[in-house]
Structure 1
Amino acid sequence: MEIILWWIAFFIGIVLLWFSLRKLPFKEWILVYLLTSYFSIILGTIVVEENMLHYPEKVLDKHFESSILFEYLMLPAANIYFYYTTYQSKLPGMLIQSLIYSSLLTMIEVPLEKYTDLIEYHTWTWMYTFISLFLFFIFIRILMQLINKAGACAVSRGK
């Protein structure tokens, strides 16, 4: 059962990434993807190494302690959509949408932890997932805002 769910999540992640290519300029899409992957693999590895949670059932990522599927595919895909939907938003709109995205991902993770061997909490809880995702979405969004602002300043100075 876990392997089937893993492959379903893999294909959903690929489809989400494919559709996200049509939404943003490629430069921004790839930057959001790479920043999300970079920070999530570091943070995910720390959480797993601290034995807060564990991924017992692995399909393609047997040599990694953290979840490659989540940290390199699912979370970056979700963050691309979050970035796209908050592109014109002010801080209150970003906070509300981060709340929505974090809630949805947490509502998916909780039954996976409870009924499958894809994820196993030790000292981790669903609340940690929710809070960390909420803050992570906001962090990447603000980081992208700063990068875009720095790029715009550099272009205006170059004229």
Structure 2
Amino acid sequence: MRIEWWLLLSVYALSTGILFLIPKNKIRLATVAFLFKQIITFLIGLVVVELGLLEYPVRLFASINRTSFTYEYYAFPVTCAIFTVWYPHNRRIFIKLGYYITFTSILTLGEVIIEKNTDLIKYIHWEWYISWITICLSFYLTRTFCTWFFAKPED
């Protein structure tokens, strides 16, 4: 089996294991974040691939979808659910900013390493900083949506 398939299996195992870090009282929040992130990645992922900016040579469901099902529909939404559940609401702005920067940088670094060393993703007209910006923006959009969704109505 090629290294790419082992990586895909590892991502599923790791992402599933990470789900156990969600406290029971925040499962609804995690579910909303997960599903909203899937909407974002579905739309943006398809546009990026169809415009020829990125390519996923090795992927699941290759005959159905040209995006990375593993990343776009499972690993990234799971990470966003964890991001949202453990977000430091009542902390100073520097802590919140650091939280965004840390999550975004780790995901971008992982993507760059995978892009350089495997056939799971290939940048065509894309750069690492575009990934960093889009990942950070999608975290912000998801968190904003979840904050709105769970806001207490004013009487």
TM-score when scaled to structure 2?
Answer: 0.89
Partner of 1:145: 147
Distance in structure 1 (CA, Å) of the matches to 2:23 and 2:91: 23
- How many residue pairs get aligned? The number is 151
Shift of 1:61: 2.2
Partner of 1:61: 61
What residue ranges of structure 1 are gaps of 5+ in the alignment?
A: none
Moved more, 100-109 or 4-13: 4-13
Partner of 1:41: 42
What residue ranges of structure 2 are gaps of 5+ in the alignment?
A: none
Distance in structure 1 (CA, Å) of the matches to 2:131 and 2:101: 12
TM-score when scaled to structure 1?
Answer: 0.87
1:25 partner SS: helix
Distance in structure 1 (CA, Å) of the matches to 2:143 and 2:129: 21
| Partner deviation per Cα, 1:65-109 (whole Å, 9 max, x = no partner) | 111111111111111111122152468233321111000001101
Partner of 2:74: 73
Distance in structure 1 (CA, Å) of the matches to 2:53 and 2:71: 16
Structure 1 residue aligned with 2:126, among 124, 127, 134? 124
**Sequence identity percentage:** 25
Partner of 1:102: 104
Distance in structure 1 (CA, Å) of the matches to 2:73 and 2:4: 19
Partner of 2:86: 85
Partner of 1:28: 29
Shift of 1:11: 1.1
Which ranges of 4 or more aligned residues in structure 1 deviate by more than 6 Å?
A: none
